[in-house]
Structure 1
Amino acid sequence: MKAVIQRVRSAKVTIDGEVSGEIGQGFLVLLGVSGTDTERECDYLAAKVLGLRVFEDQEEKMNLALQDVGGQVLVVSQFTLYGDCKKGNRPSFIGAARPERAIPLYERFVETVRRAGIETATGRFGADMLVALENDGPVTILMDTDEIMPKKN
C-alpha cells in the first residue's frame, strides 16, 4: 500500500457538487492499494499513520501524533499512486488493485483509524472527486509498505 499523508489545517472532498467528507486539523491521506496488498499491509500502514508524530509540541518540535492534538483524518482512495511511467508518457495503472480487492482494504484502513478514536471522513471509492486542502507546514509524508514494512521470514 502507498499513502501520501498531508498535515492539514482543513480538507474536504466534493462529489457532484456535494461535500462528501470534511475535516479540520489533521491528516489528508491519499491511499493507494496494490494488487498484492493484504490485511497485513493495511494494518501496518494504519498503525504507522496513527503513530506519525508531525504536529508541533510546546517547543515547536514535530513530536505529537493525531491523538495528542485531537486531529482528524480524511481518507481518499487514490489508485493513481500506482501509476507506472517507465514507458512513454501515459501512465500504466496495472499495479493498482482491482476494486474487488482494493475496496475491502480501503474500508479496513478507514475502520482501523476510526477504532483508534480518530474522527474520520472519506471520499467515495471510484468517484470523480474534487479535493481541497490547506496544507499545514507544508508537511507531506510518503509511505510505501514495500519500503517500510519488515520483511516476513
Structure 2
Amino acid sequence: MRVVIQRVLEASVTISKEKVAEIRKGLLILIGIEDSDTSEDINWLVGKISNLRIFPDENDVMNLSIKDINGEIILVSQFTLHASTKKGNRPSYIKAAKPDFAIPMYEKFVSHLEIELGKKIQTGQFGADMKVALVNDGPVTIIIDTKNKD
C-alpha cells in the first residue's frame, strides 16, 4: 500500500463537473493498493497517518498531527502510484490490485481512518475519472509505502 500525503489549505474532487468532496485545512491522500496488501498494512498506515506530525505548532515547528488540528481528509484511490517505468516509456500497472480486491481494501481503509479520527473521511470515487484540485500548504508532501515500514 502506497500513499502520497499532501498537507493542504483546501482540496476538492470533481467527477463529471460535480464536486463530490471538498475540504479546508487538512490532508489530501492519494492511495494505491497492491494484491499483496493486508489488513496489517491498513492498520499500520492508518496509525501512521493519524499521528504524523506535519502541521505547525505555535512556534511554526511541524509538531502537530491531523488529530491535533482537527483537520479534514480527502482520500483518493490512484492505481497509478504502482506504475513501473523500468522498461520502455509506457508505464506498467501490473502491481496495482484489480478492483475486486482493491475496492474492499479501499473501503476498509476509509472505515478504519474514520474510526481512528472519529470523523467522516471524504473520498473520490474508485475508478472514476476525477479532477483533483488542491492548494498544497508548505508545500508538504510525504510518500509512505507499507513495504518499507520495517
What residue is the counterpart of 1:75 in the other structure? 75
1:127, 1:19 → 2: CA distance? Answer: 13
Structure 1 spans left out of the alignment, 5+ residues:
none
| Structure 2 letter corresponding to 1:143 | I
Give the TM-score taking structure 2 as reference length.
0.97
Q: Which amino acid aligns with 2:137?
A: D
Runs of 4+ residues over 3 Å off in structure 1: none
SS in structure 1 of the partner of residue 103 of structure 2: helix
Q: Distance in 1 between matches of 2:146 and 2:72?
A: 22
1:90 counterpart SS class: coil
Q: Counterpart amino acid of 1:23?
A: I
Whether the 8 Å CA contact 1:12–1:133 is kept in 2: the answer is: yes
Does residue 20 (structure 1) correspond to residue 14 (structure 2)? The answer is no
In the TM superposition, residue 38 of structure 1 has moved relative to its aligned partner by 1.0
Deviation track 1:54-94 (CA, whole Å, cap 9, x = no partner) reads 00001110000011111010000000000000000000000
Instruction: Map 1:1-150; keep pairs closer than 5 Å.
Output: 1-115=1-115, 116-148=117-149, 150=150
Q: How far 1:35 moved relative to its partner?
A: 1.3
Unaligned runs of 5+ in 2: none
Rounded to whole Å, the distance in 2 between the matches of 1:51 and 1:147 is: 18
Distance 1:67 1:81 in 2: 26
Instruction: Tell me the alpha carbon deviations over residues 9-60 of structure 1, each in whole angstroms, 9 at most, x when there is no partner.
Output: 0100000010111111100000000111111111111111111100000111
Q: CA deviation at 1:119?
A: 3.7
Alpha-carbon distance in structure 2 between the residues aligned to 1:88 and 1:14: 32
Partner SS state of residue 93, structure 1: coil
TM-score (norm 1): 0.95
Q: CA separation in 1, counterparts of 2:25 and 2:112?
A: 19
**Equivalent pair of 1:35/1:96 in contact (CA under 8 Å):** yes
| Deviation for aligned residue 1:118 | 3.5
